[in-house]
Structure formats: C-alpha cells, structure tokens
A and B are shown apart, each in its own frame.
Chain A
Amino acid sequence: MPANRQEGMDHQHYDWSPLPERPILRWPKNAPLALGALVILEHYEWEPPEGSYGLRSPSGGLIKFPTPDYVQLTHREYGHRVGIFRVLDMLDRHGVPATIAVDATTALQYPWLIEHCMQRGCELIGHGIAASQLITSKMSADEEIETIGSSLNILEQQTGLRPRGWLSPEGVESSRTPQLAASAGLSYLCDWPNDEQPYKMSTADGDLTALPLFLELDDEFALWTRRASLDSWERMIVAAGSKMHADGQQTGRLLMLTLRPWLTGQPFRIQALGNALRSLAALDPIFMATGSQIVDSFAENLSAS
C-alpha cells in the first residue's frame, strides 16, 4: 500500500499543530504551569473472560508465572489496600488534587474505596472494565461501545456523578476510541502523551479535549519499564516541571503526573514523590488542578481567542 504523504497527521483524530504556531495559553492567575496528578486504580482479573486481550507482559510481580500468578496479582492489590492512601495523602500534603482513573471492576468490587475517594473530593474518570480487558482493534465497534458505555454507567452508578474524562486501560486504544469516547459524551481523553498543552480532538461524533499525560515521568514507564532509580525519577520530575514553568511564561504548560498506588505507594518510593512535589509546589504561581479544571480552563482560552 503506497503511503499517503500529504501534509499533516496520518490519522483523523486531531490536526497537526506545532506549539510555536498556537495561540497563547493562559492558566488562571497567569500561572505558567498547570500541575495535576492522574492516579490509576486498575484491577487485574484472576481469570479474564475468554477472548479478552491483555498486555503481553503487564508490569508488577516478577517474571510471568503460570496461573495463578499470586505475585503479580497481589503486588497490584497492594495499591488498593495500602498504597492508594499514601499517594493521596502525599498529594494532599502538597496541594495537588487527584484525578483518579477507576475501572469498572474496581468501582463495583471496592465500594468502600470509591466512597473514600469521593469523600476526599477527587475527580473520578472512566478507565474501562479491567486492566485485563484492553480496548483494542481486535474488538468489534459494538463491543467497544458496550465497554466504554458500561464502564461509564457503572462509575456513575457507584458515585452519582457522570465521569467527564477517560483513560483507556493500559493506555491502549483502537483506532475508533476517540470517536466513541466523544459519542459517549466524554469531554476529555488522556490516552495520547504527545504534548505539553491540552489540544482539541475532532471526531465524526463531536469534539474532545486531549489531556496529555507525561509519559517519561509516568511512574510505571520510569520506574518499572526503564528501571530508573528513585533519585533519577525525582530529578526528572523537578527538572521537567521547572523547565515547563519557565517556558510557560510564554504560553502555559501542563504537567500531569501519572501515579500507580501499587508502585509509587510502596513505602520506599513514596518519599521520592513527596520530594518532587515539594519542589514543584514551590514554583510560583502554579495552577494545581484536576483534569476537569484543566480542560475547562483550556476551553475558556479557546473561546477567548
């Protein structure tokens, strides 16, 4: 098949937009940097349904063991039992609001935890059914519509609030996902870690805001996949945040830190997060915000320009 070498993206989800050519982005109070935390509460099923698709080697545990892989499953479970509270406490201590991606299995099976997160004032966003049931192009459109719809319905049923945001399980999408997310009434999508600002996605079923996470600072990517040391992770976060705060004098920047309670919530890791947040929180002024607050501020910028 010959390549279609025309100007712009090789897909329809958003337009090519080099940062220097964009309108100036201003966060509230002229803060150069918006800082948020995307915390992931994901559940790995003991026995995923037949035909579901999971990552070949999901993180956590040791090597891939034959079923039952107690090591991997219980390592992940640590996040729901212990790690989440350390992570939320640390975010609170430094004034960073938590936006929590919750899959439907967690929402249904950990009602105590969902209630706890709501009481703390966290924003909950959709995150599929389970980490062991990825949304991929191997799924039919109908299955994907059902997956997105039912996971949003379950979260709404468990919290009383319709989620506005979405992160696909393990950040895996089909080529239909942005359109189906818009069609499901979602406002923002966190699957594309490709920018330092939110940007507009256009689909046949309406517009979305892309809210880019910062992949290289993502705890799993840095600490598990790349095996960076904790010192290195901490330095990367502070260096990136400080540089973006400086660059943000020109046009606002965004740092969404992705955190997994089973990973960063371990006793020996939590202080590295605390150290990094202490440095970031000293950047002044800074816009500490949830996903929705960032997206709303971005929308005000668009309507003002």
Chain B
Amino acid sequence: MDLPPNRIGYLPMVDRPIVSWPDGARVAFWVAPNVEHYEYLPPRDPRRNPWPRSPHPDVQGYAHRDYGNRVGFWRMLDVLDSYNVRCTASTNLAVFDHYPQIGKAMADRGWEIMSHGIYNTRYLSSLTESEEQEFYVDCIASLKRHTGQDLRGMLGPAVSNTVRTPDLMAEAGLTYHADWLHDDQPVPIKVQSGKLVSVPYSIELNDVPVFLQHHDPQDFVTMVKNQFDTLYEEGGQSGRVMALAIHPYLMGMPHRIDALDEMLDYVLGHADVWQPTASEIADHFIEHSYDHFVEHAAHISGEPNAC
C-alpha cells in the first residue's frame, strides 16, 4: 500500500529493481554526526516541551548537550579524522552563528551539511505553510552564507515535520529527506513538484536511544557490527544503505569514544564499502534507480503512478 499520506508506494525488498552502487560496493555507509544547539530558554511550543524535566531552564539537560560542543565534538573529530570519514553533519544551522570554530572545522573538512533545522528546540510541527517555506529559505541562506554550500537535504529539527514537509522541501530545491525509517535503500517520495528521495537514517543505530536506554558502548559496537554484517551479505544481491547516527555529547564522552573507533575500524576495514555523503547516495539513486523504483511500485500495486 501507500504509506500514508500516500507518499511512498509499497515495494517489498525481495521484489524490486537491483540497486548498484559505484564500483560494485555492497553497502553505502554514511556517518551523521548530529551537531546541535538546544536553547537555554526555548520559545514555548504547546505541542512539545524540549525540557520536560523541570520549569525552564533545565540547566542539567542543557549542559549535558552543551558539553558536546565544548568538549565531545573535538574528541569525536579526532577519531573521524583518523579514518578520513566524509561526514554528513546533521546540523542545527544556528551552530554556525554561535560556534564558528565548529562551523569552520566542519567546513574545512568538506563535510556535507544536512539541515537539522535552526535549533533542536524549534520544531516544524506547529508551523503554517508560509512559516515552513520561510524556514527553508533561512536554512538555505544560512548554510550558503557560512560555507558556500548548497543545501541538499534535511533531517527535521529533532525529527519534527508536518504533512506538507516533503512538498515544501522539494519546492525549496532539496533532494533528500532523512526522516523516513522504513527501508534499507533510498525510496522515491511522492511530492507535488520535483523529485525527493528518502535516504535511510537510523533511530536504532543511534547513540541517543542506545545510551539513554542504558546500553553500554560495547552493546553499540555489537549492534553496528551485526547491522553491517547483515547488510553486507545482502548487499551482494542489491546495494544497501547503512547510517550511523552519533551525537558529540554522547559519543564524544571519554568512556565511549573507543567504541566509535572500533565501529569505524570494522566497517571501513571491509572491501566493497562505499562511504559517501547523503546527497551522493541520493544523487546516485536518482540517476540510476529512481525511475525503475517508480515503475516497479506501480506494477506491484497494479496502479499507474503509484510511487
């Protein structure tokens, strides 16, 4: 069926066109550091309270995350550098304004900056259509101003969105949306105009749920290795995507950093692994597979234009 609200046609993994990555790679492995700023006194949003622990400010919650920018980011950077990881940084774009050294470090390395909104405490959920359109204008201009980069995609701020989000993203000229967790391959997202694809992100291979739910760094390493092993084996048939989502305030802690080293060493130590940015995955998919996926989804559903 079409996943509501009818943006994604059903395509079973075992019956769909083959996805081929460059040089016959089995797995496209993208690494997404989430570089965030949570506001000390965020504006009130009646639908979601970013700091539910106490009346605002919640200095403990704030400082836990602030640690990521002051300390954790830099420790994480050393490990990422040692593997020359081409990161796709899921970035609250105001980070460039508040913390120019972090912005420069990312820009100097040629990381792709994926919008993660302006602040992690300002959600899309309650925005009107015109407010959301202005939001994309702001994101695109902010990134251009600070780095010269063209914005290519988004993970919604704190993974928030509206029903209109994919249409408005495509209208603003973005190419990929990372909020869709329904697949191990990119998938066309139906939009009113233009083309938009999902690039599989992960809320499971993600240090936030892993570490805030009492798992150890070694559990995370095991998860990452197992995820990779499964996708690598299946990727011999048709290319797969694996995302690793990390946050400086968690992964950059001294008791966890070695786990990141171990994960990267394992995954990048394999042949036939492609380590692109999210937009490179999206562009390759659009060029080689998008039309085949749309056609085949229509065939599966028995209806034309089902994808």
What is the interface of chain A, defined by CB distance below 8 A to chain B? 45-47, 61-62, 65-66, 68, 70-71, 73-75, 77-78, 80-82, 85-86, 108-110, 112-113, 116, 227, 229-231, 266-272
Interface residues of B, count at CB 8 A:
50
Please tell me which one of the listed residues B10, B183, B208, B227 contacts residue A112 in the complex, with CB atoms under 8 A apart: B10
The smallest beta-carbon distance between A18 and chain B, in angstroms, is 37
List residues 1-60 of chain B with CB under 8 A from any CB of chain A: 1, 3-5, 8, 10-15, 47-48
How far apart are A1's CB and chain B's nearest CB, in angstroms? 38
Q: Are B179 and A46 in contact (CB under 8 A)?
A: no
Q: Which chain B residues border A77 with CB–CB below 8 Å?
A: 3, 8, 181-182
Give the dominant DSSP class at B's interface.
Answer: loop
User: B15 contacts which chain A residues (CB < 8 A)?
Assistant: 112
B204 touches A266 (CB 8 A): yes
User: Which chain B residue shows the least CB distance to A231?
Assistant: B222
Knowing A81-B10, A227-B214 touch, does A70 contact B161 (C-beta < 8 A)? yes
| Neighbouring A residues of B209 by C-beta, 8 Å | 62
The answer to whether B203 and A71 touch across the interface, beta carbons within 8 angstroms, is yes
The answer to whether A62 and B230 touch across the interface, beta carbons within 8 angstroms, is no
Shortest distance between the CB of A206 and any CB in chain B (Å): 35
- Given the interface contacts A74-B3, A80-B10, A227-B213, does A267 sit within 8 Å of B184 by beta carbon? yes
Q: Return the chain A residue nearest B300 by Cβ.
A: A112
Residues from chain B with a CB closer than 8 A to the CB of A78 are 181-183
With A and B bound together, what is the CA distance between A270 and B184 in angstroms?
14
Q: How far is the CB of B286 from chain A (nearest CB, A)?
A: 20
Complex Cα distance, B229 from A82, in Å, reads: 16
Quick check: is B271 within 8 A (CB to CB) of the other chain?
Answer: no
B181, A110: Cβ atoms under 8 Å? no
Find B181's partner among A71, A112, A270 (CB 8 Å cutoff).
A71
Interface set, chain B 158-179, CB cutoff 8 A to A: 159-163, 179
Interface centre among A113, A227, A267, A272 (most CB of B within 10 A): A267
Asked if B227 contacts A229 (CB within 8 A), the reply is no
Of all chain B residues, the one with the shortest Cβ separation from A270 is B230
- Determine the chain B residues whose CB is within 8 A of the CB of A267 once the complex forms: 184, 226-228, 230-231, 234, 242
Inside 8 A of B4's CB, which chain A residues have their CB? 45-47, 73
Known A116-B14, A269-B226; further 11 A-B contacts with Cβ < 8 A: A45-B4, A65-B159, A66-B47, A73-B3, A74-B182, A77-B182, A81-B13, A229-B219, A230-B219, A266-B204, A268-B223
A90 and B168 CA atoms in complex are apart in Å by 41
Q: Would A81 and B183 count as touching, CB distance under 8 A? A: yes
Are B184 and A113 interface neighbours, CB within 8 A? no
Is B107's CB within 8 Å of the partner chain A? no
**7 examples of A-B residue contacts, CB within 8 angstroms:** A62-B209, A65-B159, A65-B160, A74-B179, A268-B224, A269-B226, A271-B230
Please indicate the chain A residues that have their CB under 8 angstroms from the CB of B160 in the complex: 65-66
Listed in ascending order, the chain B residues whose CB lies under 8 Å from chain A are 1, 3-5, 8, 10-15, 47-48, 123, 125-126, 156, 159-163, 179-184, 203-205, 208-209, 213-215, 219, 222-224, 226-231, 234, 242, 300-301
Complexed CA–CA distance, A78 and B182 (Å) = 4
Task: Tell whether A70 pairs with B184 under 8 Å between CB atoms, given A77-B3, A112-B12.
Answer: no
Query: Which residues from chain B contact A47 at a C-beta distance below 8 Å?
Result: 4
Question: What separation, in Å, do the CA atoms of A66 and B127 have in the docked complex?
Answer: 12
Bound form: Cα–Cα A30–B62 in Å: 62
Residues of B within 8 A of A71 (CB): 159, 179, 181, 203
Interface of A is mostly: helix
Q: Is the CB of B181 within 8 A of A271?
A: no
Closest CB of chain B to A7's CB: distance in Å? 43
Chain B residues whose C-beta falls within 8 Å of the C-beta of A61 in the assembled complex:
203
Most-contacted residue by chain A among B1, B203, B223, B301 (CB, 10 A): B1
Residues A66 and B163 in contact, CB atoms below 8 Å apart: no
The residue from A62, A73, A227 contacting B203, defined by CB atoms under 8 A apart: A62
Instruction: State how many angstroms separate the Cβ of B255 from the closest Cβ of chain A.
Output: 18
Write out the residue numbers on chain B whose beta carbons fall within 8 Å of the beta carbon of A62.
159, 203, 208-209
Which B-chain residue is minimally distant from A63 (CB atoms)?
A: B48
Instruction: Determine whether the beta carbon of B226 is less than 8 Å from that of A68.
Output: no
- CB closest chain-A residue, reference B46: A66
Contacts of B184 in A (CB 8 A): 82, 267
CB neighbours (8 Å) of A270 from chain B are 230
Q: CA A268 – CA B225 in complex, angstroms? A: 8
A131–B260 alpha-carbon span in the complex (Å) = 37
Nearest-neighbor residue (CB-CB) of A78 within chain B: B182
Instruction: Kindly list the 6 A-B residue pairs having the minimum CB-CB distance in the complex, ordered from nearest.
Output: A46-B4, A109-B1, A267-B230, A268-B227, A77-B182, A74-B182
Q: Complex formed: what's the CA distance from A65 to B160 in Å? A: 7
User: Which A-chain residue is minimally distant from B198 (CB atoms)?
Assistant: A74
Cα A77 to Cα B180 with chains together (Å): 10
Are A268 and B159 closer than 8 Å at their CB atoms? no
Q: Which residue of B lies closest to A88 (CB)?
A: B14
Q: Tell me the minimal C-beta distance from A210 to chain B in angstroms.
A: 33
CB closest chain-B residue, reference A113: B12
Cα A113 to Cα B15 in complex, Å, equals 11
- Residues in B with CB closer than 8 Å to A46 are 4-5
In contact, A110 and B204 (Cβ under 8 angstroms): no
Residues of the B chain whose Cβ atoms lie less than 8 Å from the Cβ of A269: 226
Of the listed residues B14, B156, B182, B213, the one surrounded by the most CB atoms of chain A closer than 10 A to its CB is B182
Contacts of A70 in B (CB 8 A): 156, 159, 161, 179-181
Contacts of B125 in A (CB 8 A): 65-66
> Which A residues are in CB contact (< 8 Å) with B300?
112
Cβ distance A216 to chain B, nearest Cβ, rounded Å? 18
